[in-house]
Amino acid sequence: MFPLQRTPLENRPSQALPTVSLTIRIAASLLLALLISGCERTGRLPPELQAGFEKEGIVHRADDLTFRRTRPAGQRDSGWDEKRASIIVTSQSVFLHVNGKPLVEITPRSTGFYEVSRDHDRISLHAGSGKSAASWSFRPPDDANAWTLAIRSVIKNAPSRRADSG
């Protein structure tokens, strides 16, 4: 038998190298894109908002969570989608936001319809009614029951029409 001989890299056919190089570049680009999209920070707040929440007393805060927004059936845009966002719960407010831009805001001045419910470790915050209704559900990083009770307390103290479940 003939012994196997290895061909040095410089003597190998050059057509294999561009394919490997292209594959590595594509894989690196995809990995970079995944890292960038997965690292989206959503918890930045303007200093005046941060100071206001600190004054109220932050009870719970979670940044960069995945929220599932559900819109009621029977509408053109019914269905659900997922969005990364952050949430702050104080003794007086609930603020669901992306870098200070509100998605749901419940304050002592809120007059909308709100309710909160919990199913195991998932919390659903329902806001609005009719065509403006939406539900935002999420898994808090810790005690889901404590989060639910804190959000329910804010809703109870707002002059809105309220409903509680779970």
Q: Which CATH number fits domain 47-162: 2.30.29, 3.30.310, 3.30.10, 3.40.50?
A: 2.30.29
Confidence at 34, pLDDT banded by 50, 70, 90: low
Q: Sketch the domain layout of the chain as residue ranges.
A: 47-162
Give the integer Cα–Cα distance in Å for 117 and 83.
19
Confidence at 158, pLDDT banded by 50, 70, 90: confident
Confidence at 137, pLDDT banded by 50, 70, 90: very high
Sign of torsion over alpha carbons 16, 17, 20, 26: negative
Q: For 83-95, how does the pLDDT look when each residue is reduced to its tens digit (9 = 90+)?
A: 999 999 999 999 9
Q: Which of 154, 44, 64, 46 is nearest to 110 (CA)?
A: 154
Q: For 117-129, how does the pLDDT look when each residue is reduced to its tens digit (9 = 90+)?
A: 999 999 999 999 8
In the predicted model, is pLDDT for residue 163 greater than 70? no
Q: Which of 76, 67, 69, 68 is nearest to 131 (CA)?
A: 76
Q: Percent of the chain at pLDDT above 70?
A: 75
Longest dimension (CA), the chain: 91
Structure-token pair, residue 83: 């969005």
pTM across the whole model? 0.72
Tell me the one-letter amino acid at 38.
G
User: What rounded mean pLDDT belongs to the chain?
Assistant: 84
